Structure 1
Amino acid sequence: MSQLNLRNLLRLSLVLFLVFPFLFLLTQFRFGGRTDWAELAWAFKNSFLQAFFSAVFALIFGFWSALGLLTFTNHRRHYRMVLEILCLLPNFLPPIFILLATLNVVDPFPMGITGIVFIHTLMNFGLAAVLLAGLIENKVGGVIELAYVEGSSRFNFLTKGLIPMLKKDLWLLWLFIFVVCFGSFSVPLIVGGGKGTTVEVLIYEKIRLSSDWSNAVFLAFLQSIFIFALSWIAGKGQGSHRSRLANLNLVRMPTGILVIGGISLLYLAGYVQGLFAGVKMLSTFYEAQSAIVWNFLGSLSVGLSVGVFCYVGLMVIAFCWPKAWFEKFLNGYVAPSTSLACFALLIFGPNEGINPFIKIPLALTLLSLNSLFRMGWDGELHSLHSQMTVARCMGASSKQIFWEILFPQLSSRAGVLAGIASIWACGDFAVSRILAHRDLSIAMMTETLMSSYRLNQATVLSLLIVVAGLICFAICVGGSRVLRRKLTP
């Protein structure tokens, strides 16, 4: 009974943690009666337009690139692996790297909705390419082979066969990218400019600039409902399983490789260009040596804290699994507005001393945990469900199932996911900018340099973000393996 109560308590605690910003702010503020509906409509229009076109262009270039990835299916798989890494790199790295690389090479940069769409397309086309390539192989590989044998032309099959067959999957993938871009905060904050203010940035401005908490909470509430509705629809897509290898010559398009190479060259060349130019300015960092050292330690502190919190959170989910309502909640849950979550923590207790180093990791964990859950943690738990059922039938307790079945098999995976979260945390500047009133990390220093148009110096300094992220990732992965060896009976 005590174990059952503990699991229920942990489930309830995790749910309350994830919905804390909503509950806390609703108790602190009431919706204002003087909402500027014209301003809201303008910000919503900006959010919708940038998300709509970001998803459209990401899907177009992603589909084209996917046909290029299919050039390497049955042979030379290592080439495809390299291309997939290039595709996923912008999505894996913190946004600050793509922002720096693009701002270095695109001059003048089109600030506003155009600039937001450009950055979001660079960040998401590769993810769309990898997902679509796998989808085409798994779902319609046999049909492609049959059409090839029957002598169908590529154009006819793409327009009358492949695209109609994948219509629902393309729609769901577009919707997923739309939701991600609609709720984006860091990219519109940097390149949105005065004409590209989105709902997320408007919430930030309402609180930070005008202290209009009631309307900010109301805006966040409306945005969360909208994103939740779209996420619920996007979450209804189901993957298909691959039955056998198929001949995909009919749809292979080598020009897709050029798309991947061209876009990758754009951001890689931009970053390298800024790096070489920044190296010549190293002397300008002489007076800031002490600040750089302390902020590097701050990045490590934030990254490792987020890694530990996410590892614990994933293990709590595993310990509390399975429970129908709990699983439905995690699958349907949408992280709150970044601004909303951060400002809830901002007014929750003091912000001096070490408090920002506690609040920033908590905010980043709250915003990241559900993404990690959807990055394969739910699949890992479902894959072990049969083992859990057998153990339960044999009379094993929940504690035994966790420590003898789940923990040994999940610890390393949890360490990798926690390491990814720690890399994101090391590159965060948007959350930290709200919860800290001065630069506490290398990412914040980098963003400060970007804001003052010292892009080359910012690029050089961003290398320390990579170093801090790799250190945190290595500690998370290594620590999870040590824990598995030490704590496994």
Structure 2
Amino acid sequence: MFLLTQFQPNAVPDLGELWWAFKNTFIQAMLSAVASLVLGIWASFGILNFSHSKSRMRLILEVLCLVPNFLPPLFILISILNFVDPFPMGVIGIALVHTVMNFGLVAVLFTSIVENKTGGVAELSLVEGASRWQFVTRGLLPMLKKDLWLLGLFIFVVCFGSFSVPLIVGGGKGTTIEVLIYEKIRLSSDWGGAVVLALLQSMFIFGLSIIVSRGKGSLASRYANLTLLRTRTGIGVIVAVSLMYLTGYIQGLVAGFGMLSTLYEYQSALIWSFVGSVAIGMAVGILCYVGLMAIAFCWPKPWFDKFLNGYVAPSTSLACFSLLILSPNEGIYPYLKIPIALMLLSLNGLFRMGWDSELRALENQTNIAYAMGASPLQIFQEIMFPQISGKAGVLAGIGAVWACGDFAVSRILAHRDLSIAMMTETLMSSYRLNQATVLSLLIILAGIICFALCIGGSRVLRRKFTS
């Protein structure tokens, strides 16, 4: 809405160009969602070999599943580009990267759904002598078709609005709407056309988000004996995908260390870029911490809860270009605008990573306090803050790690390379993948520093306000 007040479209968008970008975006998102569901369901059958939720082996498998989704996309891109040679640039390449990033999340979520919602049907099928294939096709999938639809739709929406992955591996034949918006402004300065594209994309994603927020899966029953679904090949899928991106990253490191002398020309820039990565990461961590606390202060309000569960994220290009025109893009301004944009793009993901359940666990305490006449500020300071500050610090640390590995947002809002991630992306774009892999080690170091500072800072604040 803000951009529409600033730039009026002068003509109807090129329908051929719009259809071409929309088709690429839709196809890669659909392929990503379907492939993630298929691999994720298969992998979940491997996790179910360890029915006890506190099993060490199950914990290892779940961590392996979630690592690609939690890491900044830059690391998965580097690993897959090193491993898959030649890499299929375009729609297929985008879908491949998205599948590796999201299949593990599907596996962990689907495992939880199966354990809670198949109940006695699984045990009855086992007693009656049904085969695994019969139970999966006639029992499991029909029972959970609504949950699978919602899960697939969520992955589709996330991939539909992706920007960083198509920017690197899309190529000329895989241009998505996000990349087209970026190119219209950066290359042709067509702000009016870019605003129309962003508006259409946002409306499409918003419509899908409403469907996701209104959906309700099957009612939970109880944990059950799921012997029919246990298969060792599911473990093999998790191990194979993990070895793929780990092997690719190690290959890049080995080759990159052999070419380390070629990085000497970047010595002076490396120091300032590393400081820039830590500064941006910490700024995002602080903003995410404040944002999570603001959500907690406004809790509980039914409309607010519904909004947060239905809202996915704004278009990356839309959010960044809105901030781009608010102030000059030189000096200290990029260091202010980049953290704000990353906070806007990350906060909802952090909310879904356990912040909502953390707040719901305190509802009984807050309701009692309200009944006894306590004010909202008093409830937040004395009841909620001491119990949620630690969790907020962990989530803010995750947001800071994502920020240390960001290059897409920074590429729009920065006039030069301000961080190690941007330098790494520059090397990747110039086909110096091995050197980029070595340089990415500094991103890990910056992320560890920011994560530790966020956790430590949250503990200090908790002690200060509770002493």
TM-score band (shorter)?
over 0.9
- Quote the offset at 1:244 in angstroms: 4.8
Query: Using the alignment, how far apart are the partners of 2:245 and 2:37 within structure 1?
Result: 19
Q: 1:66 aligned to 2:66?
A: no
Q: 1:455 aligned to 2:433?
A: yes
- Quote the offset at 1:283 in angstroms: 1.5
Query: Using the alignment, how far apart are the partners of 2:300 and 2:53 within structure 1?
Result: 40
SS in 2 for 1:152: coil
SS in 2 for 1:396: coil
Could you tell which deviates more after superposition, 38-47 or 141-150? 141-150
Change (3 A) 1:326 1:135: closer
- Quote the offset at 1:237 in angstroms: 3.7
Which residue of the partner structure matches residue 75 of structure 2? 97
Cα shift readout 1:229-275 (whole Å, capped 9, x = no counterpart): 11111223446786654221111111011111111111000001101
Which residue of the partner structure matches residue 196 of structure 1? 174
Q: 1:271 aligned to 2:239?
A: no
The match for 1:231 among 200, 203, 209 is 209
Please tell me the root mean square deviation across aligned C-alpha atoms, in Å: 1.5
Query: Using the alignment, how far apart are the partners of 1:67 and 1:292 within structure 2?
Result: 45
Q: 1:377 aligned to 2:323?
A: no
Q: Which runs of 5+ in 1 are unaligned?
A: 1-22
Change (3 A) 1:399 1:207: same
- Quote the offset at 1:40 in angstroms: 0.3
- Quote the offset at 1:484 in angstroms: 0.5
Q: Which amino acid aligns with 1:53?
A: L
Whether the 8 Å CA contact 1:138–1:240 is kept in 2: the answer is no
SS in 2 for 1:250: helix
The match for 2:306 among 320, 328, 339 is 328
Cα shift readout 1:62-85 (whole Å, capped 9, x = no counterpart): 110100110111388111111111
Q: 1:187 aligned to 2:126?
A: no
TM-score (norm 1): 0.93
Whether the 8 Å CA contact 1:67–1:252 is kept in 2: the answer is yes
What pairs with 1:209-358 in structure 2 (closer than 5 Å)?
Answer: 209-238=187-216, 244-358=222-336
The match for 1:175 among 135, 139, 153 is 153
Which residue of the partner structure matches residue 390 of structure 1? 368
Which residue of the partner structure matches residue 46 of structure 1? 24
- Quote the offset at 1:280 in angstroms: 1.2
Q: Which amino acid aligns with 1:208?
A: R
Query: Using the alignment, how far apart are the partners of 2:315 and 2:78 within structure 1?
Result: 24
Query: Using the alignment, how far apart are the partners of 2:214 and 2:39 within structure 1?
Result: 24
Which residue of the partner structure matches residue 157 of structure 1? 135
Could you tell which deviates more after superposition, 92-101 or 321-330? 321-330
Which residue of the partner structure matches residue 458 of structure 2? 480
- Quote the offset at 1:447 in angstroms: 0.3
Which residue of the partner structure matches residue 65 of structure 2? 87
Query: Using the alignment, how far apart are the partners of 2:34 and 2:199 within structure 1?
Result: 26
Query: Using the alignment, how far apart are the partners of 1:221 and 1:84 within structure 2?
Result: 37
Identical-pair percentage: 69
Query: Using the alignment, how far apart are the partners of 1:316 and 1:388 within structure 2?
Result: 16
- Quote the offset at 1:321 in angstroms: 2.0
Cα shift readout 1:409-458 (whole Å, capped 9, x = no counterpart): 11111111111110100000000000111110000000001001111110
TM-score (norm 2): 0.97
Q: 1:435 aligned to 2:421?
A: no
Query: Using the alignment, how far apart are the partners of 1:325 and 1:99 within structure 2?
Result: 38
The match for 2:378 among 397, 400, 406 is 400
Whether the 8 Å CA contact 1:278–1:456 is kept in 2: the answer is yes
Which residue of the partner structure matches residue 99 of structure 2? 121
Query: Using the alignment, how far apart are the partners of 2:252 and 2:189 within structure 1?
Result: 37
Query: Using the alignment, how far apart are the partners of 1:240 and 1:307 within structure 2?
Result: 36
Change (3 A) 1:242 1:80: farther
Query: Using the alignment, how far apart are the partners of 1:357 and 1:141 within structure 2?
Result: 52
Which residue of the partner structure matches residue 12 of structure 1? none
SS in 1 for 2:447: helix
Which residue of the partner structure matches residue 25 of structure 1? 3
Whether the 8 Å CA contact 1:138–1:243 is kept in 2: the answer is yes
Q: Which amino acid aligns with 1:132?
A: F
Query: Using the alignment, how far apart are the partners of 2:50 and 2:303 within structure 1?
Result: 42
Whether the 8 Å CA contact 1:35–1:215 is kept in 2: the answer is yes
Cα shift readout 1:383-422 (whole Å, capped 9, x = no counterpart): 2122111101111111110001110111111111111110
Query: Using the alignment, how far apart are the partners of 1:444 and 1:319 within structure 2?
Result: 36
SS in 1 for 2:67: helix
Q: Which runs of 5+ in 2 are unaligned?
A: none
Query: Using the alignment, how far apart are the partners of 1:316 and 1:488 within structure 2?
Result: 19
